[in-house]
């Protein structure tokens, strides 16, 4: 029998110990998980509370009909499909308040075409969602950014009846999603923004909250996760929203901009090679459709305002205009997602389901911050009213054009 030296056994044992560590490290680094995983692993359980958990469910869309630079006929077909099929999908579902699912159309400024927005405006006017602001930009300047946002929000408000006015100041307000995830110049290569003071600029221009995060596996992902918080901008540094102060009941605003994050974590129900969990990043795509297990994970993330654990906020996102992703968002997978939400999280005893748009989610967060409780449905318009008052004006503007 061949004698194997003791040192060979020692090396083999060491290799067996080290190899899994190297594999895990490679997996983590390849997905930029080192940014957010520590905070995720340190997460605290949502505090217990009396009564049902109210689930605010918000679906935001980086809605880009011109994605991939298709011809005009393809763009039109994409928008027409949404205006037709989303009605049929949403009409099959209702929350505890009798409302259908709400879709947030965060429309890119650089893709503006009046006929596309006019169709989406009608869909939103009929009660299926609201239009907000999306922007892709690169190597931008403060002056150009101010001019771009000011012009676009006025256009959306005056011509398309989108975006609310603040009842005290009269300013047109908007929710925001940053293109390429690079909010506040957070891309490591400095691309796709250019403004280290973007949070300040957004606040000054009327942004009520940002809905960009989570962005994993992008390196723009923040260290703070599964939170609703205020970020203070350091105009000399990028990615000031990497940390912040959580919104809390009875508190006051602290910082330059509120960020409303969607759930992020590890999906152990969807494992690669049988043991590697998939990253849950709240994204609905052709290669990552929603499942009941994902829905349950979103709710378990327990994103809430500190001191109001009975109100849970679930914000998911998509790029819903291109055909492959539209097949998912307008198809059986999302239909089943809504059914699961209504069957498991709307029994009136343990859970109460509320379909909300981005503005309504912000309003309910602000109500929680103000110390209000009970039924969150009554706070959908707590701070910012719906843009419905602008619809008459938008129709008049088009008639005069």
Query: Which residue do the tokens 């097949």 mark?
Result: 327
Question: Per-residue confidence of the chain (401 residues) as pLDDT tens digits?
Answer: 555 556 554 545 544 554 455 545 666 665 788 999 989 988 888 888 999 999 999 999 999 999 999 999 999 999 999 999 999 999 999 999 999 999 999 999 999 999 999 999 999 999 999 999 999 999 999 999 999 999 999 999 999 999 999 999 999 999 999 999 999 999 999 999 999 999 999 999 999 999 999 999 999 999 999 999 999 999 999 999 999 999 999 999 999 999 999 999 998 887 665 667 889 999 999 999 999 999 999 999 999 999 999 999 999 999 999 999 999 999 999 999 999 999 999 999 999 999 999 999 999 999 999 999 999 999 999 999 999 754 444 444 444 55
Pair 339, 93: CB distance under 8 Å: yes
Question: Which stretches does DSSP call E strand in 247-346?
Answer: 257-260, 265-272, 276-280, 283-284, 311-318
Q: Which helix (H) or strand (E) holds 396?
A: helix 391-400
User: pLDDT tens digits for 63-97?
Assistant: 999 999 999 999 999 999 999 999 999 999 999 99
pTM: 0.91
Residue 3 buriedness (CB in 10 A; 0-12 / 13-18 / 19+): exposed
Pair 87, 385: CB distance under 8 Å: no
Structural domain spans, the chain: 53-391
Closest among 46, 97, 48 to 376, alpha carbons compared: 97
Rounded to 10 degrees, the C-alpha dihedral 368/372/375/379 comes to -70
Closest among 307, 292, 321, 311 to 353, alpha carbons compared: 311
User: pLDDT tens digits for 310-322?
Assistant: 999 999 999 999 9
DSSP string, 143-154: HHHHHHHHHHHH
At the top level of CATH, which class does the domain 53-391 belong to? alpha beta
Q: Please give the pLDDT value at position 116.
A: 98
């Amino acid at each position: 029998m061949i004698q194997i030296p003791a040192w060979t056994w020692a090396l083999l044992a060491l290799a067996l110990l080290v190899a899994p560590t190297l594999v895990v490290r490679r997996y983590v680094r390849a997905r930029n998980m080192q940014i957010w995983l520590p905070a995720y692993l340190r997460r605290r359980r949502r505090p217990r509370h009396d009564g049902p958990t109210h689930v605010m469910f918000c679906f935001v869309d980086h809605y880009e009909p011109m994605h991939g630079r298709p011809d005009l006929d393809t763009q039109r077909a994409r928008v027409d499909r949404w205006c037709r099929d989303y009605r049929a999908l949403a009409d099959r579902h209702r929350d505890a308040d009798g409302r259908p699912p709400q879709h947030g159309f965060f429309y890119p400024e650089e893709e503006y075409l009046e006929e596309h927005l006019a169709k989406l405006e009608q869909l939103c006017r009929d009660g299926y969602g609201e239009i907000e602001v999306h922007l892709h930009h690169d190597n931008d300047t403060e002056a150009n950014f101010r001019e771009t946002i000011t012009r676009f929000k006025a256009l959306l408000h005056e011509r398309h009846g989108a975006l609310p006015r603040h009842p005290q100041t009269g300013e047109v307000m908007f929710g925001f999603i940053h293109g390429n995830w690079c909010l506040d110049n957070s891309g490591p290569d400095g691309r796709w923004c250019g403004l280290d003071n973007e949070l300040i600029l957004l606040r000054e221009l009327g942004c009520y909250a940002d809905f960009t995060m989570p962005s994993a596996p992008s390196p723009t992902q923040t260290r703070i996760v599964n939170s609703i918080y205020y970020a203070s901008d350091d105009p000399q540094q990028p990615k000031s929203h990497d940390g912040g102060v959580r919104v809390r009941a009875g508190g006051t605003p602290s910082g330059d901009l509120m960020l409303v994050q969607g759930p992020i974590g590890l999906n152990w129900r969807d494992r690669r090679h049988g043991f590697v969990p998939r990253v849950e990043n709240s994204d609905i795509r052709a290669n990552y459709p929603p499942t009941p297990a994902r829905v349950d994970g979103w709710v378990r993330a327990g994103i809430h305002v500190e001191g109001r654990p009975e109100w849970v906020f679930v914000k998911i996102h998509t790029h819903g205009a291109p055909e492959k992703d539209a097949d998912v968002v307008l198809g059986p997978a999302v239909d089943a997602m809504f059914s699961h939400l209504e069957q498991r999280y709307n029994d009136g005893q343990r859970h109460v389901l509320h379909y909300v748009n981005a503005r309504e989610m912000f309003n309910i967060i602000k109500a929680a911050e103000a110390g209000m409780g009970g039924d969150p449905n009554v706070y959908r318009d707590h701070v910012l009213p719906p843009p419905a008052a602008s619809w008459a004006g938008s129709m008049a503007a088009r008639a005069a054009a």
